[in-house]
């Protein structure tokens, strides 16, 4: 029954919270690689090695399906993993595709040729590694034509959120939005391309203005996972117990996670 959720740190808890509410009968095993966070400043090979190691740990917990709730891992490692590494009886899915399907108003699994969509100017806010990968632009090009994407690398935001420094995080978000608007003054939509960023969604929205639709991943991924498991119930793994695992110090990570979600969270050593 268990499904794995992986993130480089605590950002994936936003996805876990949404999928657990949507699928209350599914036990989720969350693994945060806090010992090596943040991933957004690492190179692609490093991200790949760390991500495959984490996924193997979740398979050992009985999670045949693992969601990479880390945009950097989804951007830098997922395609390589799916093509060369994931065995036929396992699945590893990322968080980019459901987001892009929502942005382009496509149904899950719609493989028709790319077409014109209503949104023409998209602002992408993401980690340096995600921006460098151009994975968002690549996946978008499979589904839509005529969409201009301006990507803004949001250095420092993840660290500020992980450290609980909301004042610094807000200042950085506003600075990055200002930098984006100098390149794209009037975006139609903004994509929060990191699972930490939903915690600052109200700041992004305020800085961007009311006329910009802000797409955040947690609820979109929850809806897509519900649909996927409805069609592929056999991908619910044999694991029966929910758990929170970390490569960092469990006591410290538990304290930060409790602040993060505003409810008691207890991590164990991975």
Q: Which of 194, 220, 222, 257 does the annotation list as catalytic?
A: 194
Q: Do 168 and 192 meet the contact criterion of CB atoms below 8 Å apart? A: no
Q: Give, rounded to a whole angstrom, the gap between the first and last alpha carbons of the chain.
A: 20
70 is catalytic: yes
Report the alpha-carbon distance of residue 268 to residue 152 in Å, rounded.
Answer: 35
Smallest CA-to-CA distance from 15 within 102, 83, 96, 87 is with: 96
Smallest CA-to-CA distance from 110 within 142, 136, 88, 146 is with: 142
Report the alpha-carbon distance of residue 193 to residue 87 in Å, rounded.
Answer: 28
**Where are the strands (E) in 127-217, listed by range?**
144-145, 148-153, 189-193, 213-215
Q: Which of 67, 70, 190, 207 does the annotation list as catalytic?
A: 70
Q: Provide the token pair at 24.
A: 């209350």
194 is catalytic: yes
Q: Give catalytic residue positions.
A: 70, 194
């Amino acid at each position: 029954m268990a499904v794995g959720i992986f993130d480089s740190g605590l950002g994936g808890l936003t996805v876990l919270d949404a999928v657990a509410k949507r699928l209350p009968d599914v036990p989720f095993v969350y693994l945060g690689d806090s010992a090596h966070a943040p991933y957004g400043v690492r190179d692609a090979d490093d991200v790949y090695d760390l991500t495959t190691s984490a996924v193997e740990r979740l398979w050992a917990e009985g999670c045949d399906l693992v969601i990479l709730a880390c945009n950097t891992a989804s951007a830098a490692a997922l395609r390589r993993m799916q093509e060369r590494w994931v065995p036929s009886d396992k699945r590893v899915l990322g968080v980019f595709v459901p987001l892009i399907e929502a942005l382009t108003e496509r149904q899950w699994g719609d493989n028709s040729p790319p077409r014109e969509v209503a949104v023409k100017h998209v602002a992408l806010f993401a980690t340096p590694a995600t921006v460098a990968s151009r994975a968002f632009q690549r996946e978008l090009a499979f589904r839509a034509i005529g969409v201009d994407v301006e990507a803004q690398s949001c250095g420092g935001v993840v660290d500020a959120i992980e450290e609980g420094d909301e004042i610094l995080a807000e200042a950085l978000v506003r600075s990055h939005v200002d930098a984006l608007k100098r390149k794209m003054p009037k975006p139609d939509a903004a994509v929060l391309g990191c699972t930490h960023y939903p915690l600052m969604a109200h700041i992004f929205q305020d800085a961007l203005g009311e006329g910009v639709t802000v797409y955040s991943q947690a609820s979109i991924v929850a809806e897509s996972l519900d649909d996927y498991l409805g069609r592929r119930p056999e991908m619910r793994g044999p694991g029966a117990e929910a758990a929170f695992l970390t490569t960092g110090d469990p006591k410290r990570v538990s304290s930060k996670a409790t602040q993060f979600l505003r409810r008691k969270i207890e991590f164990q050593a991975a």
